[in-house]
């Protein structure tokens, strides 16, 4: 039994008040004094611990290390401070900082060790570290960690193996998210992440890199077959319907793949290539796999070039509206024109309107472009007979802005063009993207007398009930349905159904893309009231509208349609 000296007896109550564990050992490494926190830490009573050495408390290899550290302090008189992991009296691992120092009391040397428990802060740090490199929703690595791991994967490439990167997303996810809410959306993402993770090999790394976009790195693969096989299995898995709240949902998936066969390519370039290929895959089909090829870089370069030139073209009014006639199928006459934007670029030639419109949308330039086009179109249309309307396309992006209605009415007021002669064409996706703003804008414009037409009907994601909640004036049947009239009975059934629906709701109908007398005859026979298409004429520059109008009476008959020569800007 070790006896405490009088000095120690006085110290006991003082060190018991300290919230860190304190041990005092003599030169034989036995504990001669310890505080209450130390007893709690080691899980034994003071009476048991007095006289113990580290060998009675810790595994032998750990006790050896502690003893060596104690000896160093005794021999040199230097203080020491170490961060270490200990197993406490309850068998739990603790992160501690141990400070040791020698003291001399009544000519006798002792070692005083104080132990600060930092387990809680180390656990919090580890959790933060995990959070900053993982996606909290799916638990997958995030983009930063993926990039780090991708760098690591290049070691295999240096050793002669191939590395594939896949970028994938769920087609239609955004619309489901909008329709069913974020909770369902989150469940779908978790479901997708888990399903795809199950298909991966032990070396593969999957990450959520953005929204519903995921990336997979496949290191050490053989020829590209491995990546194709994984991508095909992902497509097959996603094809299985996902049931939520009793509703069955089906998704598409677009997968872009890029391969590194040598270290000439950088990791970030590989990811960029897979992303490009993904872009193409998503545009192609609901279920598609696409490998990167050099042509995609050309496409991107063209896109960048167009974006650069677009600003100057808008400012210089180089993008102008041309006008495609809209014809009454009953009275065989022109009843209005749809303004279609045309841009003839000096070096790039005629740029297709859907190409530069989508770039303008992505670059945040669509509102500036639309404002200039609408001003110009209102000026042009003011010179036409007052019975003719002007149809103008509104981008889905613009329809998200609550000030759109006011801006359009402002342009009408300034140009003096009557709102009653303006027909705005909007698409289904524009309506469902932001339902409440779209409702307000449409109501505001309709109150002023502007008519609203639903463009490209049948190609979007909107449900019938969503569409019917809007007050629309007209439905424009997409030209893909008109084209199908030629070769399938099914096409006829669809068009008949759309016309019946529109008539039932008192809506006017325009068939887009009429190219043949047969199509025209079928549409007329089934109650379609208006038509547009190359059969009647392509879009012409403002200067040619008069000539077109002078060709009256308009000869819209199945047997002898009057074709118009296309002007230089037509198309
Ligand atoms: P849209 O509004 O559905 O316009 C009809 C498109 O079909 C036009 O293509 C037109 O030239 C084409 N088209 C008309 N008749 C026929 C036909 O008989 N056969 C075939 N194959 N095509 C026909 P365009 O001018 O290339 O425009 C494509 C799309 O770009 C438009 O589709 C519209 O969504 C958008 N767009 C064009 N101009 C503007 C604009 O000023 N603003 C906005 N926001 N979008 C525009
Ligand atoms: Mg249109
Ligand atoms: Mg259309």
Q: Whose CA is nearest to atom 41 of ligand 1?
A: 341
Per-residue pLDDT, 224: 57
Instruction: Tell how strand 242-244 and strand 213-221 pair up.
Output: unpaired
For residue 526, how far is its CA from the centre of ligand 2 (angstroms)? 22
| CA within 13 Å, CB half, 410 | 7
Ligand 3 centroid–CA 415 distance in Å is 26
- Across residues 453-475, what is the average pLDDT? 84
Alpha helices in 472-559 (DSSP H): 479-483, 489-504, 517-525, 545-549
Last residue of a domain, one of 122, 155, 189: 122
Contact 513 CB / ligand 1 (< 6 Å)? yes
Residue 512 in 3-state DSSP? Answer: coil
Ligand having the closest approach to the CA of 459: 3
Residue 42 lies in a domain: yes
Asked if 99 and 140 sit in the same domain, the reply is no
Same domain membership, residue 284 and residue 236: yes
Q: Within this chain, do residues 275 and 145 fall inside the same structural domain, yes or no?
A: yes
- Residue 302 included in any domain: no
CATH number, domain at 234? 3.30.70.270
Which of 327, 337, 340 has the most ligand 1 atoms within 8 A of CB, as the residue to mutate?
340
Domain endpoint, select from 255, 277, 293: 293
Tokens of 564: 């118009």
Please tell me the predicted confidence (pLDDT) of residue 558. Answer: 40
Residues contacting residue 251 through CB under 8 Å, at least 6 positions apart: 170, 171, 172, 173, 176, 188, 192, 238, 242, 286
Q: Is 422 in the pocket of ligand 1 (CB under 6 A)?
A: no
Measured from the Cβ of residue 450, the count of other Cβ atoms closer than 10 Å reads 22
Tell me the pLDDT band of 223, cut-offs 50, 70 and 90: low
Cα of 392 vs centre of ligand 2, distance in Å, is 7
Q: pLDDT-based confidence at 571, cuts 50/70/90?
A: very low
**Whole domain around residue 99: which residue ranges?**
2-122
Kindly report the CATH number assigned to the domain that includes residue 62. 3.30.450.20
Number of domains in the chain: 2
Size of the chain in residues: 571
Tell me the average pLDDT of the chain.
Answer: 88
Does 306 have pLDDT greater than 90? Answer: yes
Please tell me the distance between residue 481's alpha carbon and the centre of ligand 3 in angstroms.
11
Question: How far is ligand 2, taken at its centre, from the CA of residue 514, in Å?
Answer: 14
Going by pLDDT thresholds of 50, 70 and 90, the confidence category of residue 315 is: very high
The CB of 141 under 6 Å from ligand 1? The reply is: no
Domain match, 140 and 280 both? yes
Is position 519 within any domain? no
Pairing outcome for strands 474-477 and 451-457: parallel
Predicted pLDDT of residue 555: 46
Residues 116, 138: one domain? no
27 and 154 in a single domain? The answer is: no
Decide if 308 is inside a domain. no
Per-residue confidence (pLDDT) for residue 400, from 0 to 100: 86
Q: Calculate how far, in angstroms, residue 100's C-alpha sits from the geometric centre of ligand 2.
A: 81
Model pLDDT for residues 378-405, shown as the tens digit of each residue: 999 999 999 999 999 999 889 988 999 9
Hey, which residues does 345 pair with through a beta bridge?
349
145 and 95 housed in the same domain: no
Residues 147 and 268 in one domain: yes
Q: What is the pLDDT of residues 492-531, one digit of tens each?
A: 999 999 999 999 989 999 999 999 999 999 999 999 999 9
CB 453 within 8 A of CB 423: yes
351 CB under 6 A from ligand 1? no
Q: Is residue 431 part of a domain?
A: no
Distance, in Å, from the CA atom of 30 to the CA atom of 49, rounded to the nearest integer, reads: 9
335-377 confidence digits (pLDDT tens): 999 999 999 999 999 999 999 999 999 889 999 999 999 999 9
Same domain, residue pair 110 and 146: no
Whole-Å CA distances, 490 to 497, 501, 502: 11, 17, 19
| Neighbouring residues of 455: CB distance < 8 A, sequence distance ≥ 6 | 393, 425, 426, 427, 476
The stretch 89-113 carries a mean pLDDT of 89
Is 65 within the bounds of a domain? yes
Same domain for 153 and 100?
A: no
| pLDDT at res. 7 | 62
Residues 145 and 260 in one domain: yes
Specify the 3-state DSSP secondary structure of 172.
coil
Ligand 1 probe mutation, 353, 425, 452, 563, most atoms within 8 A of CB: 353
Residue 190 pLDDT exceeds 50: yes
Q: Which of 278, 293, 308 is the last residue of a domain?
A: 293
pLDDT digits (tens, 9 = 90+) for 409-453: 999 999 999 999 999 999 987 777 677 888 999 999 999 999 999
Asked whether residue 83 falls in the same domain as residue 118, the answer is: yes
Residue 94 has φ and ψ, to the nearest 5°, of: -125, 140
CA of residue 393 to ligand 3 center, whole Å: 9
Distance CA 451, CA 472 (A): 8
291-305: pLDDT as tens digits: 998 887 788 789 889
Which residues have beta carbons under 5 A from ligand 2 (an ion)? 393, 425, 455
Contact residues for 418 (Cβ-Cβ < 8 A; gap 6+): 386, 412, 449
């Amino acid at each position: 039994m070790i006896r405490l000296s009088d000095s120690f007896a006085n110290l006991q109550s003082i060190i018991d008040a300290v919230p860190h564990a304190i041990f005092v050992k003599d030169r034989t490494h036995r504990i001669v004094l310890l505080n209450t926190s130390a007893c709690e830490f080691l899980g034994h009573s003071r009476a048991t611990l007095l006289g113990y050495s580290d060998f009675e408390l810790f595994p032998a290899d750990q006790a050896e290390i502690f003893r060596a550290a104690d000896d160093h302090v005794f021999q040199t008189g230097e203080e020491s401070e170490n961060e270490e992991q200990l197993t406490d009296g309850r068998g739990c691992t603790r992160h501690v900082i141990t400070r040791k120092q020698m003291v001399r009391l009544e000519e006798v040397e002792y070692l005083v060790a104080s132990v600060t428990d930092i387990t809680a802060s180390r656990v919090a740090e580890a959790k933060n570290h995990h959070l900053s490199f993982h996606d909290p929703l799916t638990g997958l690595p995030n983009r930063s960690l993926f990039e780090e791991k991708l760098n690591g994967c290049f070691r295999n490439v240096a050793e002669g193996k191939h590395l594939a990167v896949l970028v994938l997303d769920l087609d239609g996810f955004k619309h489901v998210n909008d329709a069913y809410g974020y909770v369902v959306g989150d469940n779908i993402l978790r479901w997708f992440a888990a399903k795809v993770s199950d298909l991966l090999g032990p070396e593969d790394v999957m990450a959520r890199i953005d929204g519903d976009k995921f990336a997979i790195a496949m290191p050490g693969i053989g020829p590209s077959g491995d990546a194709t096989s994984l991508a095909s299995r992902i497509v097959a898995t996603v094809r299985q319907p996902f049931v939520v709240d009793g509703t069955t949902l089906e998704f598409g998936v677009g997968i872009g793949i890029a391969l590194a066969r040598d270290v000439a390519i950088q990791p970030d370039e590989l990811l960029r290539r897979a992303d490009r290929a993904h872009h193409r895959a998503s545009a192609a089909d609901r279920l598609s796999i696409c490998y990167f090829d050099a042509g995609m870089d050309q496409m991107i370069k063209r896109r960048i070039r167009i974006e650069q030139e677009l600003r100057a073209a808008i400012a210089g009014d180089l993008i102008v509206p041309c006008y495609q006639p809209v014809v009454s199928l009953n009275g065989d006459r022109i009843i209005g024109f749809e303004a279609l934007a045309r841009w003839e670029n000096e070096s790039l030639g005629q740029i297709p309107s859907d190409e530069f419109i989508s770039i303008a949308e992505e670059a945040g330039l669509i509102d500036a472009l639309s404002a200039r086009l609408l001003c110009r179109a209102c000026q042009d249309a003011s010179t036409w007979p007052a019975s003719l309307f002007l149809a103008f396309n509104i981008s889905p992006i613009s329809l998200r802005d609550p000030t759109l209605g006011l801006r359009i009415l402002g342009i009408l007021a300034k140009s003096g063009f009557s709102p009653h002669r303006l027909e705005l064409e909007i698409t289904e996706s524009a309506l469902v993207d932001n339902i409440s703003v779209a409702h307000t804008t449409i109501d505001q414009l309709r109150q002023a007398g502007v008519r609203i037409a639903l463009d490209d009907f049948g190609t979007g994601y909107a449900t019938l009930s969503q569409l019917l909640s809007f007050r629309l004036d007209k439905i424009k049947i997409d030209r893909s349905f008109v084209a199908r009239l030629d070769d399938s009975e099914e096409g006829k059934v669809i068009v008949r159904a759309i016309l019946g629906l529109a008539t039932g709701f008192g809506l006017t109908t325009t068939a887009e893309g009429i190219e043949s007398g047969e199509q025209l005859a079928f549409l007329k026979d089934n109650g379609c009231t208006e038509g547009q298409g190359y059969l009647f004429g392509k879009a012409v520059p403002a200067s040619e509208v008069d000539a077109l109008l002078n060709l009256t009476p308009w000869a819209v008959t199945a047997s002898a349609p009057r074709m118009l020569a296309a002007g230089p800007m037509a198309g």
